[in-house]
Copies of this chain bind each other. A is one copy, B any other.
Amino acid sequence: MARSSLTRDEVLDAAASLVKQRGPAALTMRGLAAELGTAVTSIYWHVGNRESLLDALVERTVQEMGAIRPVGRSPAERILSVARILRRELRERPHLIAMVHERGLTERMFLPAQQALVHEVHAAGLRGARAADAVRAVQFQIVGFLLVERNRERSPAQSPAESELWDPAAAPHDPGLARALARPADPERLFLLSVRALVTALLATAPTAPG
């Protein structure tokens, strides 16, 4: 009955499409075989086993995260643009990014972005260990924020809701604050606000560092 031409790339494509749509848990070897119209065991011939199939998908994703082209008039603005670009790219493939993360390849995936950050931090006048700290702080900030943000999206039904946590009675001395915390956070705004604040503080130490 053997269908003649199953290739490794076909297997990877079908697997990637499954993972993109419904997450890695939805990728079963039997389901994938059904999708491809082959016997389960054929897949093993092409990709080894489930684990190395996932590894291959992750490898692909790391390659796809191409070079970053920062835009803006100042180093701070260009760093902000890097943050924005990364946010968009990460949000386009949430499942795959999570898998990259699980395999500890986040760092390698962010190398192009890291190099862009190095360039900008350098242009802002930071050097040596201080520049390295700034680059890493921004990188951790961006990646960390996106991890938290994604978690929030994945579970929209919080219990108790934020609005219960922060009813006016909870902070009687500042109802405006309570109201603001009761409203859902605007992640994009908070993201840019946070990165801007961090970058401002980090670059402020720049111009020929004090002893």
- A residues whose Cβ falls under 8 Å from a Cβ of B: 101-108, 111, 114, 118, 122, 127-129, 131-133, 135-137, 140-141, 143-149, 151-152, 154-160, 162, 165, 171, 173-174, 176-177, 180-181, 185, 190, 193-194, 197-198, 200-202
Contacts and interface: CB of A to CB of B under 8 A. Distances in A.
Contacts of A127: 174, 176-177
Contacts of A185: 136
A155 B104 contact: yes
Contacts of A133: 180, 190, 193
User: Copies per complex?
Assistant: 2
A121 to B, nearest CB: 8
Contact of A152 (B107, B146, B160): B107
Contacts of A122: 173-174, 177
A132 B13 CA distance: 44
B180 A132 contact: yes
Contact of A147 (B144, B177, B194): B144
15 contacts: A103-B155, A104-B151, A104-B154, A105-B155, A105-B159, A106-B151, A108-B158, A122-B174, A129-B176, A131-B177, A133-B193, A137-B194, A144-B145, A144-B147, A197-B202
A196 B185 CA distance: 23
Contacts of A177: 118, 122, 127-129, 131-132
Nearest to A106: B151
Contacts of A180: 128-129, 131-133
Best-surrounded residue of A122, A127, A151 (most CB of chain B within 10 A): A151
Contacts of A118: 171, 177, 181
A188 to B, nearest CB: 12
A140 B190 contact: yes
